[in-house]
Amino acid sequence: MVLKTNVKIDSGFKNPHQTLGNLRSRGSQASKESQNEKRAQSSNQRSKSNLNGHSLEKRKLPDEIWTVLRCPYCKGELKRTAYGAECLKCHDKYPSSSKGQLDLRLRRIKKCSMVFDVVDKTPSKYTIIENLSPNPQLRNKCPNKGSGCISPELLSYFPKGKNSDSLMLDLGCGSTPNKRDAEKAGFKYVGLDFDSGKSTILGDAHALPFEDETFEFVLSIAVLEHLRYPFIALSEVHRVLKKKATFIGSVAFLEPFHGNSYYHFTHLGIINSLESVNFKIKLISTDQKWNALTAQARMGLFPRMPHALIQLILAPLQIVHSFWWKAAATLYPTEARKIKNSINLAGSFMFIAEKT
Ligand SMILES: [Zn+2]
């Protein structure tokens, strides 16, 4: 049985009122163009008046990135303009943000369709690596610390850029903590975020503004749980990756609700989501340093408390927990074998997948 679903994507998953705004702006083509024009002019004025801060010049995108940029609405080629960009096909205008970022978020509702094979089937069985170790091939040396929120172990699995034109996309790049590591691995870094002052391109994960088969590597750390339609976003990642290219990421599991998170993934959830859009899974793993207790304590119970103090508070509970699990394995051996402690208590899951 095949289920076909139509999903309307709008540009404002952080702002529910924006959908209404988009609907209202769907009048005649002429009025839409006039609105776009006004928006372009006002943004241009803002950018000009902001030359001492983040000017357009400072945020200038290299030519090789311009050549792969596409209209998020119709995938038409984009023309560089004084205020930002314009689609050569549907003529949507994309004025830069007040900070000089190229703003390629959707300007109107985009309808997306996906086809699912609905059968009574659980996702494929995978060996889930409990507590990931550094990559034995050490393509990238495992540093002592991961930069930002990526673990050093996962960092050691970064692929290497094939040549000087190899592009990688940091989807949901935030303050671009992974830029240096991606460049060290030989990639030209492209950071995209829906709402970050540090990103050179603003965009929506549900409608990526890039040509098909552009990137050799996509990274997405703690992003998918914040998206309204993760299946759509994953199919977009699949579309913009080259064949056999790598997709590395992490998703929240037992972290508390945070930053408007919609869907927290179990290991089956992320396996199913990746397989549904034809990714081949290479690795699913937990992170020893990020279990439910640590995640809840740092993000929910004691936010902003020094980590050393949190570890001190958690230590007795961790000790009792370890002791009880060892005791339970002896007392209830059959039941204990069925439960993977680190999987049931993972704060998040990491994954490495390949585009088939
Ligand atoms: Zn267009």
Q: What is the pLDDT of residues 266-304, one digit of tens each?
A: 999 999 999 999 999 999 999 888 999 999 999 999 999
From CA 195, how far away is CA 175, in angstroms rounded? 10
pLDDT (0 to 100) of residue 344: 87
From CA 15, how far away is CA 246, in angstroms rounded? 32
pLDDT band with cut points at 50, 70 and 90 for residue 59:
low
pLDDT at 133 over 90: no
pLDDT band with cut points at 50, 70 and 90 for residue 339:
low
From CA 226, how far away is CA 171, in angstroms rounded? 12
> Higher-confidence residue: 141 or 200?
200
Residue 238's domain comprises 122-291+344-355
* 152 is a domain residue: yes
- Compute the distance from residue 90 Cα to the ligand 1 centre, in Å: 4
From CA 288, how far away is CA 130, in angstroms rounded? 8
Tokens representing 337? 């074998």
From CA 266, how far away is CA 251, in angstroms rounded? 9
pLDDT (0 to 100) of residue 90: 96
Contacts of 193 (CB under 8 A, 6+ apart): 172, 173, 174, 199, 201, 202, 203
For residue range 76-100, what is the model confidence (pLDDT) as tens digits? 999 999 999 999 999 999 999 999 9
* 65 is a domain residue: yes
- Compute the distance from residue 93 Cα to the ligand 1 centre, in Å: 9
Domain boundary among 107, 142, 175: 107
- Compute the distance from residue 51 Cα to the ligand 1 centre, in Å: 29
Same domain flag for 100 and 135 = no
From CA 268, how far away is CA 126, in angstroms rounded? 9
pLDDT (0 to 100) of residue 70: 98
Q: What is the DSSP letter of 213?
A: T
- Compute the distance from residue 94 Cα to the ligand 1 centre, in Å: 10
Same domain flag for 222 and 263 = yes
Domain boundary among 80, 107, 134: 107
pLDDT at 26 over 60: no
pLDDT (0 to 100) of residue 329: 81
For residue range 197-244, what is the model confidence (pLDDT) as tens digits? 899 999 999 999 999 999 999 999 999 999 999 999 999 999 999 999
Domain boundary among 107, 137, 164: 107
Same domain flag for 263 and 350 = yes
Exposure string over 14-47, b if 16+ CB within 10 A, otherwise e? eeeeebeebeeeeeeeeebeeebeebbeebbebb
* 162 is a domain residue: yes
- Compute the distance from residue 102 Cα to the ligand 1 centre, in Å: 15
Q: How many structural domains compose the chain?
A: 2
Q: Are 270 and 284 within 8 A, CB to CB?
A: yes
The CA angle 198-200-205, to the nearest 5 degrees, is 95
pTM, two decimals, is 0.81
pLDDT (0 to 100) of residue 10: 56
Tokens 């809840």 locate to: 296
Same domain flag for 78 and 140 = no
Query: What mean pLDDT do residues 334-349 have?
Result: 79
Question: Closest Cα to residue 263, out of 240, 233, 285?
Answer: 233
- Compute the distance from residue 354 Cα to the ligand 1 centre, in Å: 29
- Compute the distance from residue 87 Cα to the ligand 1 centre, in Å: 5
